[in-house]
Each structure stands twice: as structure tokens, then as C-alpha cells.
Structure 1
């Protein structure tokens, strides 16, 4: 089994996955939760240390604001990881009740644009090249605001942010079909995101989050189409049963994860030169944070390893011959391949534990942080 194509594949993990989180009704705390961004990075570094798959950590502004970015950057690099994409936040300020970049009032739009310029400055200090924007703007009622007017304001706001970027910086624009608003989101789908990215220029691309689609959406089709026009800039992995559940990758529908990665592999987009940044975006509400992230990156690795087993020549031949069941069988043969032993062997050959989850449980790290992280307040969603 040839798994050499995995050698350069990496996944970026989110800093916010290590803090306390929960439901709309309760945030659950766990022993040893991080109290500052430094401790978040330390926890994230454990995932990379045990899996070799997660050398970058996404940060969120203002959740991860620090006084000295060079110091946080040095802290990360000392632990063997780098600071990755910078995520903006325009959903936790009273001024953004009716929108941020789409707000009818210029003062509020200007405030949101200034926040993104702050994120660009953070990128310059951390070495990040990706500004990731998830826009929570939208409407709850017909007639509440002009749909057309909001798109025009959004286009203008994005253009101002794009103009402030350096030549080596990218704007990654995410979409979500509902929540927090329910009548209309201002970037509800990949088409709307793509329209704005095309208008902005070559350094603007779409972010696809697997939890941000209506039930039954063919996500692998969207992946293919965005890759086809070279506008898939980043990929947020999580899993969902109903909506934006943010569950461990592959936990709800591992076959969907395989189908998505099969499209990615067929176009070579799993390789670094494709420019696609593969990330996790999820919260662990009831499970332990670090093991949850380890399980997620391992699930992606396993699905990718299966996708690499697809016999592309046999698949193409069956497709040309109109052999419907034969073509489907090629995919199913790859999906049903048990790659776990080969991946464990590969980890061992690279000096990594065969079973990263078991290695973490026996490492003593969880007990250590529960003992040493005393005093102060644990970080949680929104903090």
C-alpha cells in the first residue's frame, strides 16, 4: 500500500477547540483548561507531537489577542508548531446586532473594516498569510433591510479590506446557509462567496466548511467546482447530523468524508502546491479537547489514505464504458480497504506512536495540566 502521498499532507487545528465550550444552555468546564493563548498553543502542540499531522494552529481575534505577537510566535515554534490563519470576529459586539460589513450604518461598517485591518497587522507579526472571514451578517425578517443594498455594502467593505492586504496575504471567505440569522444570510452559499472573491481578485478564495450546508447537499460537487476554477482556498473539516454541529470529523458520515477527499485526490489538491489550506473548525462540548482533536486529524488521515487507494485508471475506464456498477465498485473497494495497520506502521517508521490516542492517555499531560493550571480563569467560547 503506497501512502507516500501523505508525506506532505497537514491539517491546521483551531485554537478555540481547546477552550471550554458547550451548548446554548451550558458551557462545560474541564480540568486543566487553558487560561490564555499560550496554553492553547501548548495543548495544540500535543496533537502534532503525537500525530505529525498538525503543525499549524489557527488563531481567533480578539479571543487570542496578546501583547507581544513575536513572543507567542516564538512560543509556538519552540513547541514545533506555527501560527496559522487569522480568523476575524464580528459577531460578539453590540454594534454588530444588525450586521458588520453589511450594516446599514457606515460607522459600524468602518469599525468592522478596522477590525479586519487589525487582523492583517496580526498576520504580519505572526507570519500568517491567510485572513479567514466568516461573516455572521444576515436578516431575520423580510423587509428588515435591502438584500441588494447589503450585497453592495459587503462588496465595498471587502474591497477596502482586500486593498489593505500585502501581496503575500490571502483573503479566505467562508459561507453558511443559516445561523445566526434565519431569513437570509449575507453569504449563504458557495456561489455568493465565489462572486465576491472573483470581484476581489486572485488573492481571494472560498472557504468550504462541511457543516455549513443544507441537509443533502452534495459537498464533493462544490469541492470539485471550486477546485476547477481554482478558487478553493481552504477547507474546514468537522461533522454534522443536522446543522453546524461542529462534531469530530467523520463521526456522522465517514463515507461523505471519503467522497470529498476522493475528489480532492483526483485533482491533486491534497498536495501543498495546490494552495488549499486544510483545517479543523469544531468545538468539543462533552469530550476531552486534545483527544478530540487527535481523533479528528486521524480520521482525516484515514479517509485520505483510503481515497489514495482509488484505482484512477480503472475508474476512468469504467466511466468511459458506461459501467455504472463497475465504477461504483472501484470507489467502494477503496473505501472498504482497512488502512489502519498501514498507517500505524507508517507512524512507527516516522518515530511516532502507533496509537496516538493511547499515547496521549499514558503521557501524563492531562494530569499535569490539571495540577499546574491553577488560578486564573479558564478560556471558553467567546473569551
Structure 2
């Protein structure tokens, strides 16, 4: 049964993970980095080729803007993958210095909302069913703007986008504790996002970015609550040591990832209705290999979550057996699931070790040789 559940896992890749990235001090260039969205999709297809569970790649607009989105979608299909969520960008334009959809200037708000509507148009052209919204909007100083008015402006824009969604489409609303706004962020937490989504209706759901919380936040509680309310739309998986570090998922706290995946399984969220997306930047490690490792980390955490003896756990919980319940939980977490996953991959016609298979494929050397000239993709391109 565990193998059957793992076989149908779907982990979405971010196109931006294959471009150059870095910190606010320096963006680091690497050899063989894609120069356009077509090459990003080709690299994403390599991750799916060796893991078997990463069949879609999310786009970021305007970073992934092309003349013909239908052609890009066809290119993806030819490579054995598809286009996933469309991510909007209303944070990299000078006009958005004081906010996008919450900006006091109605002209800027109109520009930002029009971009969100453009992203829905791109969904129509690519066959995507998910729009992901994140806003850097907020203020840096007390009194800088009217906090309540900004919430009104946000609600107005979200309502317009919601009404534009087509049949079978939804949007996921992302939140972030801080950065780049430091005094007050307009969408700082899951409760604010949840409140807006409840008011809008069933096609508006919350996305949980695992790096967007205050230290010590119990993310698995948030997951359990949103699942209970039918409002968990997906994840942006990454790892953090301090803030929004965007490190490889499971790198900082693999036990937390296991706890999150247990709540997903227990709450009925291990379905196609909850999007499991990566949102990471590979600043110093190779891009494709970093994505493969990230997918494997999610697979391992999921396998352990599926191995929890929920009957034994329920009995211990009912009897108030604190140590017994914890032991059931820890037994699953401490299980080495790597042999199980290697066996599963072989049954799926894949190499048991995706990292080794990719390293021996020669793909990296091939693209380094071919991708000469032009500008490498990166933040903002």
C-alpha cells in the first residue's frame, strides 16, 4: 500500500530553480544554466526522468514570458512534462516601491491587478489550473499608510482576479511574515490569507511556504487546521535556518518535514487537490542535481509519514499513553526508507539511485557545451 501511495506522488518543480540565483549581495553564475523558459523546462524534464514523480514545472511571469505559451506547453509535453502553476510577479517594478495591489496610487493598483489577470490568460493558454499569488506589499514605518485601507485594496483586487478564474481554475494565496516590508506586511500570516480566501469562496485557497514563518512556529498545526477547513491548497517546500532562506527542503529540519507530511496524510491532504511544489534557489549547488535531491527528500519524508501505524497511534492517544504515542511516531521517522524507494523506482522502470543516474547521464556536460552565447536566466529573467 505504501508503494502504491508513493507511486502516485506529484512534486512540482519551479522554473526559477534552474536559473542563476544568490543573495542580495551577489548572484552566482554557473555553467550550463538555461537561457530561456524552453531550456528551463528541458532541465526540469531531467528531474522527472530520474525521479518519476515531478511531472510539472511552474512558471514565473514575467521571468518566463514567451511569445507563444501554447508552444511552450507543447514543448513541455514533448519532453514528458507539463506546465503547472503560474506564479505572478508584482514585486520587481519600480512602481511597486510602496506596494502593488495595496499601493495608495490607484494607477499602480490597476497595473498590478492587470498583471494578475494576464497570468490567468496564460493559465488558459498553457492548460494550467493554478495561479499562485504572493505580494511583497507592506510598510516600513508607523503611519506610512492606512493599514485598514490597504486590506480593503487587497480584498478588492483579489475579488476581481477571483471572478476572472475559469472553470476548474483556482488561486493559491501565499503569505510571508516579513521582507521586504519590515514594519507591517499586508499578508503576514496564514490567518490573514485564510480570512481573505474564506470570504472569496472555494476556488481561493492558502499555500504554505515552509520558510515564511516566525521561529518556532508549529507549521504542522497550520497544515492540520487548513486541511480541516478545506482551505489548504498547496505548499512551497524549502528549508530555513533563519528566515526565508529558500534552501533545499528537508536540509535544515527533516523531522519537521516528516511531521508536516504526517498531518497531510492524516488530514486527507495527500491528493491532487493539494499541490506539493518546491520553491528553492540553488545558489551554490548544481541546479538539476539540487532539484533531484529535493524531490528525494520529500519522497523520504512522505514514505515515513505513510509508515506511521495510525491504529497503534490512535490507541495510545486515547489511553493517554504519552510515551507510547511518541514511540509510534518516532519508529516511523527512524525507519530507513531508502531501500523501499529504490525498489519502487526499479518497479517504475527507473534507476534506483536518481542522483547517480543523472550524474552518469552526460546531460550536464552536453548543455554546458551547447548553451554558448546569449544571457543566462536568473532573478528577473
TM (norm. structure 1) is: 0.98
Following TM superposition, by how much is the alpha carbon of 1:197 offset from its aligned partner in structure 2, in angstroms? Answer: 0.4
Counterparts of 2:43 and 2:373, CA distance in 1:
18
After the TM superposition, which residues 243-254 of structure 1 pair with which residues of structure 2 at under 5 Å, given as runs? 243-254=243-254
Counterparts of 2:341 and 2:156, CA distance in 1:
48
Counterparts of 1:2 and 1:34, CA distance in 2:
36
Counterparts of 1:208 and 1:66, CA distance in 2:
28
What's the counterpart of residue 169 of structure 1?
169
Gap regions ≥5 residues in structure 2: none
Which of 339, 342, 363 is the aligned partner of 2:340?
342
2:308–2:332 contact (8 Å) kept in structure 1: yes
Which of 372, 375, 379 is the aligned partner of 1:374?
372
What's the counterpart of residue 286 of structure 2?
288
After the TM superposition, which residues 1-383 of structure 1 pair with which residues of structure 2 at under 5 Å, given as runs? 2-272=2-272, 275-383=273-381
Following TM superposition, by how much is the alpha carbon of 1:53 offset from its aligned partner in structure 2, in angstroms? Answer: 1.1
Counterparts of 1:8 and 1:53, CA distance in 2:
7
Counterparts of 2:165 and 2:347, CA distance in 1:
42
Following TM superposition, by how much is the alpha carbon of 1:164 offset from its aligned partner in structure 2, in angstroms? Answer: 1.4
Following TM superposition, by how much is the alpha carbon of 1:3 offset from its aligned partner in structure 2, in angstroms? Answer: 2.2
Counterparts of 2:165 and 2:267, CA distance in 1:
29
1:10–1:278 contact (8 Å) kept in structure 2: yes
Counterparts of 1:25 and 1:105, CA distance in 2:
31
Q: Deviation digits for residues 86-140 of structure 1, max 9, x if unmatched?
A: 0000001111000001011111111011001100000000000111001110110
1:14–1:281 contact (8 Å) kept in structure 2: yes
Task: Evaluate the alpha carbon distance shift between residue 119 and residue 2 of structure 1 in structure 2; reply closer, same or farther with a 3 A threshold.
Answer: closer
Following TM superposition, by how much is the alpha carbon of 1:15 offset from its aligned partner in structure 2, in angstroms? Answer: 0.1
Gap regions ≥5 residues in structure 1: none
Following TM superposition, by how much is the alpha carbon of 1:47 offset from its aligned partner in structure 2, in angstroms? Answer: 0.2
SS at match of 2:360: helix
Counterparts of 1:247 and 1:265, CA distance in 2:
24
SS at match of 1:212: coil
SS at match of 1:363: coil
Equivalent pairs counted in the alignment come to 381
Following TM superposition, by how much is the alpha carbon of 1:199 offset from its aligned partner in structure 2, in angstroms? Answer: 0.9
Following TM superposition, by how much is the alpha carbon of 1:267 offset from its aligned partner in structure 2, in angstroms? Answer: 1.9
Following TM superposition, by how much is the alpha carbon of 1:167 offset from its aligned partner in structure 2, in angstroms? Answer: 2.5
SS at match of 1:57: strand
Q: Deviation digits for residues 64-103 of structure 1, max 9, x if unmatched?
A: 0000111101100000000000000000111100000101
2:7–2:53 contact (8 Å) kept in structure 1: no
Q: Deviation digits for residues 331-362 of structure 1, max 9, x if unmatched?
A: 00000001101110110111101110011111
SS at match of 1:308: helix
- In angstroms, what is the RMSD of aligned CA positions? 0.8
Counterparts of 2:149 and 2:165, CA distance in 1:
25
Q: Deviation digits for residues 173-198 of structure 1, max 9, x if unmatched?
A: 00000001111110000000001001
Runs of 4+ with deviation above 4 angstroms? none
1:3–1:308 contact (8 Å) kept in structure 2: no
Counterparts of 2:2 and 2:119, CA distance in 1:
41
2:227–2:268 contact (8 Å) kept in structure 1: no
Q: Deviation digits for residues 299-328 of structure 1, max 9, x if unmatched?
A: 000000001110000000000000000000
SS at match of 2:98: coil
Counterparts of 1:288 and 1:97, CA distance in 2:
33
Counterparts of 2:168 and 2:228, CA distance in 1:
23
